[in-house]
A and B are shown apart, each in its own frame.
Chain A
């Protein structure tokens, strides 16, 4: 099973709302990633968790707050977002991070619209 699931599929939120995106994998992977993708652009890395610890934060604004409650689950908490944060948010996982030979498996994404 090479599946990464993400919920919700679509999310519309106002600039004052608080919402969360959820990602789950049951492949036993120990690395999980959040990416942001604008239309017709490549994904941009936001965060990397390795063994449930935050390994990389690509200078993401604090209105995005990641959380890794366990090795299978990754959340992205959203607060006070701006319209320019509207994008497709992709979650990915790999067996590990930092060994270079670990393919990343992507989820279907959450399409976020900030109004």
Chain B
């Protein structure tokens, strides 16, 4: 069974600074996808970034980038130039790429990020 661990329940960062959210996962699969989802307070959950395990290059989306270390089973999210609108709960998630239960998202427990002015 796959598990996803986010070891930082809460974090804070000053506006305009950089913050890194940690995520580790456990799987015996060789092919899978990893995601970071953002859920602002009382607002919709949205996909921030995704990474295919077969790609060595780290995914980036504007101010958001990941550090994907496949051997270490680590998938951290870096937010540069933090903005007040980045205040949210962030979930790391895993999805198998084949076999049974493909398509099922396995979520971590989440990290609440507060961006301070």
Q: Give A residues with C-beta under 8 Å from B.
A: 31, 40-43, 45, 48, 56, 90, 94, 96-109
Using known A-B contacts A106-B44, A107-B44, determine if residue A42 contacts B104 with beta carbons closer than 8 Å.
Answer: no
- B68: Cβ under 8 A from any A Cβ: no
Contact of B50 among A97, A103, A105 (CB under 8 A): A103
Closest-CB distance, B36 to chain A (whole angstroms): 12
By the criterion CB–CB under 8 Å, are B47 and A99 in contact?
no
* Chain A interface SS verdict (over half): loop
**Which of A45, A97, A106 contacts B46 (CB under 8 A)?**
A106
| B residues adjacent to A (C-beta < 8 A) | 31-33, 35, 37, 43-47, 50, 52, 89, 91, 95-98, 102-105, 107-110, 112
Contact of A31 with B47 in the complex, beta carbons under 8 Å: no
Pair B97/A41 contact, Cβ less than 8 Å: no
Determine the chain A residues whose CB is within 8 A of the CB of B102 once the complex forms: 98-100
Nearest chain A CB to B9 CB, angstrom units: 9
The reply to whether A103 and B32 form a contact with Cβ atoms under 8 Å apart is no
User: Contact at B33–A100, with CB atoms within 8 Å?
Assistant: yes
